[in-house]
Amino acid sequence: MSSNGSNKIFSSASEAIKDIPSGATLCVGGFGLCGIPENLIAALVEKGVDGLTAVSNNAGVDDFGLGLLLQTRQIKRMISSYVGENKTFEHLYLTGQLEVELTPQGTLAERMRAGGAGIPAFYTPCAVGTIVQEGGVPIKYRSDGSVEIESEARELRRFGERDFVLEQAIKGDFALIKAWKADTRGNLVFRSTARNFNVDAATAGKICIAEVEEIVEAGEIDPDDVHLPGVYVHRVIKGPSYEKRIEKRTLSLGGDMESSATKLSPDRLRIVKRAALEFRDGMYVNLGIGIPTLASNFVAPDVQIELQSENGLLGIGEYPSEDVVDADMINAGKETVTTKPGSSIFTSSQSFGMIRGGKVDLTLLGALQVAPNGDLANWIIPGKMVKGMGGAMDLVSSGTRVVVTMEHTAKGGKHKILDMCNLPLTGKGVVDRIITEMAVFDILQEEPPAYDTQPASRLELIEIADGVSVDDVRAATGASFRVADGRFAPPLRPMMQEVADLQR
């Protein structure tokens, strides 16, 4: 469909979406609640169309964003990377009332980008060796908990020394997006991290409908400032109002590093502080939600790092004070943040392009299970708990350093470090180091020979917490490991040494 600039401005959201039929596929912008087309979604709820397929990173929350269309059962299938804290989303999926095609976040962004660029398919290293590639991810459950529809296997092909997964592009019948400003020709400007998936979704829609906060005359936006050219945009409406709800309002605690972790147990605080010793000056770092994010508060004074957030931000600053909280500025954990001098903002597909391309030096993230061969599981307990893989599969498959931070055991002392992961994998052979409250392990590239009483294991204990014995660690670990003793590695060290000691 082509469109010139003379008829792109529509009077209302209901007018702009009036020809969206039941059964349509919609590519929807936004990340969490940031940059979502809230007026267009409300108009769809009122219109009552159903049987929709929604392609979106997530589905908002229970009572806002796409969560509203889930409540009214107007969505038949979600193609998403993250269920998150949306209880309606999770409940409908696990009880067989909603089809969910879980897709790694970077793959999802690239599938939409490719669809908009006329590329039918592409190869990615993401998800090699996981059930996403091998097939078998539940798409639809029956009411009794059995699986009615599951994903098919993806083609695998080797390029050079690595295997890659074939992924097909996504095109939508319509794209629903949110921008900050438009001109009458449909050129768009986005604000802060509200750019996220909006650009990729816009290009993938046969008809793109954009809602904005301001419409200006053609020529009032400098061509250098246009983020999305009007050729991609067919309809524009000015939203009558915006709630711009914030999912996680996170405020500065006055710059006191210790105060940001006051709610942590001593064990978790030990993990956080030890994780901070992984940072090296000049690193570009991606931090997972929770403990990894808190580690950034304890960066050594002489270390400068750049934090990358997969929703499209490089150079994350401090949490904001109340007077500068901005709904359009969040991190990948949906927390309000600020930027710092030298920061940059970009689209979701570009964010994962830099991740997939190996430009991020270190990934710090949590885990449900880890194995001595570097296998990682952290995104789903089939039939019980599903948060989605988010960006984790892309991050751990990038070929850069991966450090896992987690409590050593689960509730009841259940082992999390196992000879073999029994949960669906996030990545195969991807972990370099494990940090727990008890110890630090390295995962060696190759299994060394056994010597004396030491097992021939790739899992090597290199540091141990004060007051913890090797026997304590063995009892809490469901896999055999060797202990660094000076013959093949530096001898076992205490945790929490100064950075200088670790860098020697």
Q: Give catalytic residues, as residue numbers.
A: 310
Element at 403 (helix H, strand E): strand 401-405
Q: Which two tokens stand for residue 494?
A: 């205490």
* Residue 144, token pair as written in the block: 């009794």
Assigned token pair, 38: 């809230």
Closest alpha carbon to 211 in 345, 32, 35: 35
In sequence order, what are the residues at sequence separation of 6 or more whose Cβ sits closer than 8 angstroms to the Cβ of residue 10?
16, 235, 236, 237
415 and 435 Cβ atoms separated by less than 8 Å: no
- To 5 degrees, how large is the angle CA 230–CA 236–CA 237? 155
The residues that bridge with 483 in the sheet, in sequence order, are: 461
DSSP annotation of 461 reads E
Q: Strands, E, within 201-260: which ranges?
A: 205-212, 214-216, 235-238
What is the Cα–Cα distance from 4 to 18, expressed in whole angstroms? 20
Tokens of 148: 């009615």
Cβ neighbours around 93 below 10 Å, total: 24
DSSP state of 499: H
Transcribe 113-174 into DSSP letters.
HHHHTT--EEEESTTTTSHHHHS--EEEE-TTS-EEEEPPPPPEEEETTEEEEEEE---EEE
Mark out the alpha helices in 131-252 (DSSP H runs).
131-134, 198-204
Instruction: Let me know the angle formed at the C-alpha of 446 by 423 and 413, rounded to the nearest 5 degrees.
Output: 35
Extended beta strands in 46-119, E state: 52-55, 75-80, 99-102
In the block, which residue shows the tokens 């942590």?
264
Identity (one letter) of the amino acid at 234? H
Distance CA 452, CA 446 (A): 19
Is residue 98 a contact partner of residue 89, using CB atoms and an 8 Å limit?
Answer: yes
Identify whether the C-beta of residue 423 lies closer than 8 Å to the C-beta of residue 417: no
CA separation, residue 53 to residues 24, 37, 79, 319, 328 (Å): 6, 16, 7, 36, 26
